[in-house]
Structure 1
């Protein structure tokens, strides 16, 4: 006799009323290769931001820099990197991201070789300017290649989280690596180490990365390019002069005023342009505006905190430059953890909640540093607070990158990543002069630099730093739309 009872589904199979849960998307093998290559390039340029900082006195003595001109080794790089990044981000959209990325990496390798072989100040400064130009090309082009390789969603959030982690780790690793190379070999290896890395990327990239070309030929907005590049150059120059000589110096005021005037002229040029460098519509997007404000606050506060804690470690506790760099290795671990978790947290909570969470964590960790004292035992508080603060800071940075590049077509990803990179580099430049002025004013009011007065100045600046990050995160979270 035949059994006419309906078949019972196996327990492991979903019933029609209980659909199988959607699997999280996974990267293909090619996407993993693209990600590894782009992250390696971004890590390299991040290292270049800080690799020479601890070696500046040695470089100056070796090549004959005067004490007053020593700051130009860092300033020349920052000017080129921040001044041209928005222009190059748009050039990547118009003329090809892969092409600009390859040209930028080739220029990085050649300029690093020039710097490593420099025999005088002029040659070294030319090499640093060229390294800055290479960075201005590689970072937005690489980021736009990454965002177009990974569509909006969990994979892009994960990729941007890893990118942010390695970028921040690169800033920290640069200080440690610069100290090690200078002590064990020569400061020239701070340049020469880039050469084989750049050569490897230039060799592999054409075989791994798919080209990204515009559908039609578009004219470059020359008035917009001139005004925005000139404005950013003047602004960054004014900020670096403020850090060195004070905010009230005539040259500082003139540079900042010129920068502001040129950026206003840029706004009017874009309103009249038929093919603007930066379509004003993108600047009216809430995600772009508040996402970039989050990034600006994150970079202003964390990079300036590193500066303040460097003063504490060296002027109060008496650490050497190499020991200072090694102490910041714990901060690097925190940023790597934050970047690794960042994509998952954004996917679960949304960008808005992640910005607020990261800001609260960073602010709480930062304000705890007010308790630092003159005893060497306080190093344990510094290590714990910088680790936790690094996690919070990286949550903000990952959410900033996801927010600032979301909801835009692929044709505008170079522009979006150019804006984000410009925000990052201007934030790095702004933070130190602002916090330096606060700390210096406190030290001066107490009668001059001693370990006790330096500690007091650092503590006041730390309070301002923590308040700034908390206010910035709260504002961004308040004005961003709730989204998942």
Structure 2
């Protein structure tokens, strides 16, 4: 990589890492935040739900808008919004202000993550450079998720829960300035109008989907609120597909949605993210309610996951170059599946439990990153530069939806083994039985997904196009290369 490419990569990876932290940094801080601001037991979940709802619901829309108006413009807008909303959240004195700040953080995530990923994929051509960049991105993404709980616990114990917000302010300001100076604008060559009907139906449909999934954890899968939300989501997403078939300038061209690599690559992403988030949830229950570890101790235990993830990110690009993205995706899922099934043998013995959690977290983090990087490579391969915002928007939307799918599904499965509750809390034996069953089902789901992808995913073929972000790709190469003319692809 050139010096400028390394600088651009550092900015983009820094932003992705910061947003990954925001998903988990508040987990440990919730009890103190609840007591200090006066959240009720039935309303504190909005601190998490408000973020997830807006992040997932608007991801695809902003991914496509970035293709049209410019990814750098959106990236800078999102970073500014994150910095400002984090400042508001850090000084919030009422639950309403804090929830509004979390909504703004989720919206900033929906803006920055797909535009940042599109800038990354258009800054590096398909092949070793892009794979290496995506490998580092996957490593920092998983490291951010894994270390968020650790950092949140440290900040909350040493200073205050408010620093879980305020830490974003100086970091966000630095990244905002660096991005404005270093990153070159990137957008589609052909400026097509925004597909308003398609945008409206998919955005509301995704909001309904996430609302229903998060509500299922609180109210149950058969509650009217859950059933109505999920039914509305299915109807709206079907309507979105029908609209895209007939739209003159579709938000998501059907040929992209039907692409073998996009379809099966995103399925791999959905499986690895949903099942890994479920494992983290089940391990948290096990460590705190079976092993009786403190929240701080439980958070530190996840540090091994971050170490494994970072190590995996440094070697994934080499593995993909040698065996291909498809085989790496299948291998990563198989490692994750086998590692999860091993957790079925967890016991109430503290020493045995701690050792098993540390070892499996490390190995699971490594396998998880193999799957993350390779699914991203697969899901964005063969897509021309002017549609990279859409492709990365689909990939990152898959991540957001996956985070909301895994936990309610596995919490429902685990709850079937809890038995009679004592003052609303399951017994130690009940939690152990529930979590081990959850690990078994989790591992089997990943295994079935890996076998299906192995059977039906065709090895992705790289697209041959000039890089739209040529200045980031190779500063000495002219923006327009006459030897590789670009023609906009016909929609549908």
Provide the TM-score with structure 1 as the length reference: 0.93
Answer yes or no: is 1:128 the counterpart of 2:102.
Answer: yes
Answer yes or no: is 1:462 the counterpart of 2:439.
Answer: yes
- 2:37 corresponds, among 49, 58, 63, to 63
**Does the aligned pair in 1 maintain the 2:378–2:460 contact within 8 Å?**
no
Answer yes or no: is 1:196 the counterpart of 2:170.
Answer: yes
CA RMSD of aligned residues (A): 1.2
Answer yes or no: is 1:411 the counterpart of 2:386.
Answer: yes
- 2:120 corresponds, among 143, 146, 158, to 146
Query: Structure 2 CA distance, aligned partners of 1:145 and 1:57?
Result: 38
- 2:49 corresponds, among 70, 75, 82, to 75
- 2:218 corresponds, among 239, 244, 247, to 244
**Does the aligned pair in 2 maintain the 1:246–1:252 contact within 8 Å?**
yes
Q: Please say which of residues 121-130 and 373-382 is displaced more in the overlay.
A: 373-382
**Does the aligned pair in 2 maintain the 1:350–1:483 contact within 8 Å?**
no
Answer yes or no: is 1:86 the counterpart of 2:60.
Answer: yes
Equivalent residues in 2 for 1:169-180 (5 A)? 169-180=143-154
- 1:431 corresponds, among 406, 426, 429, to 406
Q: Which digits, 9 at most, give the CA deviation of each residue in 1:102-136, with x for residues without a partner?
A: 00000000000010111101100000000000000
Query: Structure 1 CA distance, aligned partners of 2:351 and 2:292?
Result: 13
1:137 paired residue number: 111
**Does the aligned pair in 2 maintain the 1:98–1:211 contact within 8 Å?**
yes
Q: Offset of 1:355 from its aligned partner?
A: 1.4
Answer yes or no: is 1:390 the counterpart of 2:365.
Answer: yes
Query: Structure 2 CA distance, aligned partners of 1:150 and 1:162?
Result: 13
- 2:86 corresponds, among 112, 122, 126, to 112
Query: Structure 2 CA distance, aligned partners of 1:268 and 1:213?
Result: 27
1:313 paired residue number: 287
Secondary structure of the structure 2 residue equivalent to 1:443: coil
Secondary structure of the structure 1 residue equivalent to 2:29: helix
Q: Gaps spanning 5+ residues in structure 1: where?
A: 1-26
- 2:426 corresponds, among 449, 463, 469, to 449
Query: Structure 1 CA distance, aligned partners of 2:340 and 2:187?
Result: 44
Q: Offset of 1:483 from its aligned partner?
A: 5.8
Query: Structure 2 CA distance, aligned partners of 1:108 and 1:193?
Result: 11
Tell me the number of residue pairs that the alignment of Structure 1 and Structure 2 aligns.
458
The list of structure 1 runs, each at least 4 consecutive aligned residues, that deviate by more than 6 angstroms after superposition, is 445-448
Query: Structure 1 CA distance, aligned partners of 2:421 and 2:332?
Result: 35
Query: Structure 2 CA distance, aligned partners of 1:240 and 1:316?
Result: 25
